[in-house]
Structure 1
Amino acid sequence: RGLGRARRLGAGAARGARRGRGPGGGVSGLAGAVGAAEAEAERTRQQPMPGTPEAEAARQEPQPLDLLAQLTNSPPPPETPMRTVVRRVKIWTPLVLLLVVVFVVVQSVRPLPEPTLSLTARSTYTFDGAKPSMPWPSEGQAVIEVDGLGSFGTYGEQKPVPIASVAKVMTAYVVLRDHPVKKGTKGTMIPVDKKAEKEAGLSAQNESTVKVKAGTRISQREALNAIMIASANNVARLLGRWDAGSEKAFVNKMNAAAKDLGMTNTHYTDPSGLTASTVSTAADQVKLAKKVMEFPLFREVVRQPSYVDANGKTQPNWNRLVPLDGVVGIKTGTTTKAGGNLVFAAEKEIGGTRQLIVGAMLGQYKPSILDTVLANSKKLIDSAQDSLTSRTVVKKGQVVGYVDDQLGGHTPVVATKDVTAVGWSGLKVKLALTGNGKPVPHEAAPGTKVGTLTAGDGPGQVRVPVAVKGELTEPGFGNKLTRVG
């Protein structure tokens, strides 16, 4: 609007000039003022065109707001390495503190690792002296050892030979393995077939048999008595048919079981052992004997000097060593081709333990073959029993190890009574520290039993409880905080 008024004033002045008024007149002065005002308005109201020198100059000139900011705000300080470090510390410190708090909480509430027992006492004990000299037979092959302790040695070449009725030990093993018998019971009732009844008459051909009647049933206990005490071939074959459906199928199971037990030089061809093609070694039969003696019913059966069968007839044990001098089994086997054979077991009470001696003797041909194998085996048994001795290897109260809480804490444990190792001269016995069937506790009062120190292995293993010597406590907060893994 101001620009329009200036232009109108300028136009009026021009008209006045044309009417003859000179420059000195008032109208002329007014015209000059109006022209100056118009020029000034043009300069202040119009913006220069972009890209022109005037626009560039205007852009570079300080703007009012910038000038105001310069006057009211302090300029930022120059950047330095120290200032960079300080700024980063301010940014990261809260986050690090948060992570530390989370870490501490997690470490304090994490489940504790399970404590373990570690042995500090010597892990073996060797009996002084040279290994005993055993009365080995003059022929055949033999092996004798103490279950869980070690072997007295072997005699003869361990090559497969006929074993006769010793094969019935495997027959009993397979039946008991596949048909477990609860302690104090007689087991499953087995139906007697016509073949078993008919084969009872083979006793006329010098086969060992027991009379059974088709259509009746006999218990597993009765069947085991028949094959292990009376050595009844007809009942052994009956068991094979009952267990596997056929004798051939049962023989396959016998050979599979032998393979599982590591009896690499053994091959069965019938459940009774009558055929000479059923072969094994003394070493293999000892492997089987130790395993089958784990069945309570088997142990009860083979330690009998005789039994009364279902017909009321007393059947004597062919192994006449039972029950003399701690002999508790196991099985004889005699034929013309096989000679005299015996797998035997005997016990010896010593050092507060009951040790099980197991052995086998095969290929005894001096007449009478049964008497020869029994006599020679008895010599081995007597020598092994006489060789057994005991030594105190750890005293009561002796520190034998510690409880490791897995976080750096070790609490000593002591034997609660003397530890006696059983063996013979030259034998090395293993010692071990194990749990007592329960997890090792995190906390316990002094004297609390937390494990077992064992000497040897097998059924005659020596076992003594161990107890913490001082108070067993949980790991402290510092150990919890610094644990890894």
Structure 2
Amino acid sequence: MTNAISRLSVAFLFLVTAAVSQAFITPAKANPTLVVDIASGRVLHSSQATEPWYPASLTKLLTTYIVLQEIRAGRLTLETPLTVSARAEAEAPSKMGFKPGTVVTVDNALKMMLVKSANDLAVVFAEGVSGSVDAFVERMNQTAQQLGMRDSHFANPNGMPDERQHSSARDLAVLARALLTEFAPYRGYFGIGAVQLGKRLMRNTNGLIGRYPGATGMKTGFICSSGFNVVATAVHGHRELLVVVLGAPTAVQRTIQAAELLDTGFSQRGWGSQTLDSLPVSTATAPPDLRDEICGANRGKYLADDDNAAPVSASVAGSEGISLFAGPRVNGVAAVRGSAPNRLAPRAKTTPIAVFVGATPGDGPDSTAVATAGKGKDAQTSKQAATAKPIAVRKTAKGGRPPREASAFAPVEEDAKIGNAPMALQRAIKPAKGGSTKKASGKAKSAKSGSEKATKSELATAAKPPRRPTAKSQKKPTKASTQPLSLAPPTPPRR
């Protein structure tokens, strides 16, 4: 009798614990979530994981996968130059805003697309790989089927609103795990904290980077119809987990929820009983449309797909919650939450990676002359979001191009003074010694003193910085320079 009561008590406690845990990490409304162990593929947590959802810019993970396939096949290299077309330039924000004819290498385009979430560069990749966007979309759907993404269909390479485009938390986890396991040397691209193009400083839209201990990267996504999405990875000890959050109401809540889910996964001992393949198939036929809920009359102030646009607290909040798991409690979310509700803690300082246009540094035009999206008030997205027109899922597909008004709110950019902001320059490229800006300003002064009638355009031309010098013994990149930049920790050993 005593043993029976004891067993009932344990069972009751387990059910209560599971219910409280689920309520702690999952909002009441539709909000698919998933936690997966990357090495084993085991599912540690799943909620609505196979429900259809608009992936938004998480689509760019599949675009990246295909680009890396082309590199593996030898049809592309990191130095392959790609040309911006008129169609790419016409894409709605978030974008780099390069003029048609601008050349950018595969390496630089990957960095800018994954950090800035640039829609125009996704089109540049589509046209560079397949010759046209339509042909690339066909390749995307073939690749998705080969990967086992059974809930997915794609209509464009960047995730812009289109009712035909859908995926699921489960499929996005399949894709992310394939990227990390098949292309491990390139995983550093997903964890870059910031990139710098001339005076434009762009921080990663993934709010876990620089906050959550052990965060290694991946990608965010947002359109009004999807809410705020993220695929994120992190390492704790000898374990690396992948988390998917879809449909969060704000970028801040997306980041906090992802951190809570990572804590939940890292706090568990053992492995989940389910795999991605064993998750049940959804009976839903179409994604929910959150447009009114996310971007309607009662929407929040900060609607950019970017935690950088949200308020940041001065200090980090203390530990919250109780331990509900058999393993030691992991509390990485304490480094993410701010000291006030709906705020994030400050990010750790990061050194931006220098990017450039042109086949080599200095070959392309000045970034301010081609990057129209980075000028003036266009970068003030937190102000734009308060009055921006909501995005509707596209109902028609005339010409295969979304309407201009169907744009996601662009991430925040910052001005950076060349020569002052630290840069980690990739491969054989060396930083300019003595400050190239000093030479540029000297040229501008001499031009002005030489002619009082000089026009503003002439002064601007004279003030352009010269090409970045390289080491005397390294005028051209060596074979070593074709190796990908890897910034993330090495993959934990398989068990």
User: Bigger relative contact order, structure 1 or 2, given CA contacts below 8 A and separation 6+?
Assistant: 2
TM-score normalized by the length of structure 2: 0.48
| More strand by percentage | 1
